[in-house]
Structure 1
Amino acid sequence: MKWIDIPPVWLGIALVCAWWISELQPDWLHFESPITDLLGGCLVGAGALLMLLAVAEMRKRRTTVIPHMEAANLVTTGIFSRTRNPIYLGDACILAGLTLYWAAPIALFLVPLFAGTITQRFILPEEDRLRRKFRAAFASYCQKTRRWL
């Protein structure tokens, strides 16, 4: 069952919940405007771009993007010089963007809930593996680069 415990599954669950909330919330809670549509679209685009940049950088450094696998190399260049978790940040941007696009502001609570879940289930275990394997290099990287933003 470990193959199903991956971040895209958690993102999918959060997106289904956000869409469901958008469909069930009262009309007076819908906050539709061209501005929220634009902001939502920009967040989705930014999230997708973060993910693409991260995957390209990881492939260039010949390491895995699969969370449960051991990294071959510590990636600290490219987008990873700005955030230690650009793919997860991209997921959160996509969730926030689609929530805005679906005019479901009350569903925005799912973004920090998603971030907390991802941190506990994936980021902390990944960081433990990286800390054990890359020791001083990972410690130095953590001092220079934030986990999320």
Structure 2
Amino acid sequence: MNAGFLKGFPDLPPIWFAGFCGAAWLLARELPLTTAFGPLWWGLGVLLAVAGVALIGWSAWWFWMHRTPIEPHHDPRALITEGPYRFSRNPIYLAMLAMLTGYVFWLGVLSPVLLPVLFHQVLTRRFIEDEEARLVAAFGLEARRYLQVTRRWL
């Protein structure tokens, strides 16, 4: 994305998440396509959303414990490899993706089903790639090892 497009835009993952949720709602309302989903999908949607909220809380706690900024585009003061960071380098982004997917399931229509795929790409390009480079710049070989042995998503 070009920087001029985002000038003045609060470039934060929760803002992008809210925008994608809004787009999902709008697509479901204005272009539902089909209502093939049923109560099982709604339940799965709620489960994914609740799990996402819990994962965000658990992950954020580790940022607080290490006293390092949680906001993207800031230089890290610690390399977090404990808790959920043992399984995923990006558990907060994974949680947001799960919550968006859960919301799409809960809406119960087909039209917004590709939004989680697009959100995944936005998170990777806008935030994750830069954060990984910042980790390597700050922690060198230790960060490189972590990036090699821990998956980006799951």
Q: Report how far residue 142 of structure 1 moved.
A: 1.1
Aligned structure 1 segments of 4 or more residues deviating by more than 2 angstroms: none
2:92 equivalent to 1:91 = no
**Which amino acid is the alignment partner of residue 23 of structure 1?**
R
How much does 1:13 deviate? 0.8
Q: CA deviation at 1:3?
A: 6.7
Alignment partner, residue 18 of structure 1: 24
Matching residue within 5, 8, 24 for 2:11: 5
Greater helix content = 1
Gaps of 5+ in 2: 1-6
Task: Quote the Cα distance in structure 1 between the aligned partners of 2:53 and 2:9.
Answer: 22
Distance 1:74 1:102, change over 3 A: same
Decide which of 66, 75, 85 is 1:61's aligned counterpart.
66
1:51 aligns with 2:53: no
Residue in 1 that maps onto 2:3: none
Q: Conserved in 2, the CA contact under 8 Å of 1:18 and 1:104?
A: no
**C-alpha RMSD over aligned residues:** 1.4
TM-score norm. by structure 2 comes to 0.91
Structure 1: gaps spanning 5 or more residues: none
Q: Aligned equivalents of 2:112 and 2:57: distance in 1?
A: 26
Distance 2:109 2:42 in 1: 11
The aligned length equals: 148
Give me the whole-angstrom Cα distance separating, in 1, the residues matched to 2:131 and 2:20.
22
CA distance in 2, matches of 1:128, 1:97: 30
TM-score by length of 1: 0.94
Question: Could you tell me which residue of structure 2 aligns to residue 71 of structure 1?
Answer: 76
Which residue type is aligned with residue 153 of structure 2? W
Q: Is the 8 A contact 1:40 1:99 kept in 2?
A: yes
- The aligned counterpart of 2:4 is none
Matched to 2:133, the amino acid is D
Q: Give the one of 146, 150, 153 matched to 1:145.
A: 150
Identity of aligned residues (%): 32
Amino acid in structure 1 at the alignment position of 2:99: I
1:6-28 deviation per Cα after TM superposition (whole angstroms, max 9, x unaligned): 001111111001001111224x6
- CA distance in structure 2 between the aligned counterparts of 1:2 and 1:67, rounded to whole angstroms: 16
1:58 and 1:65 in contact (8 A); partners too = yes
- Quick one: distance in 1 between partners of 2:8 and 2:56? 22
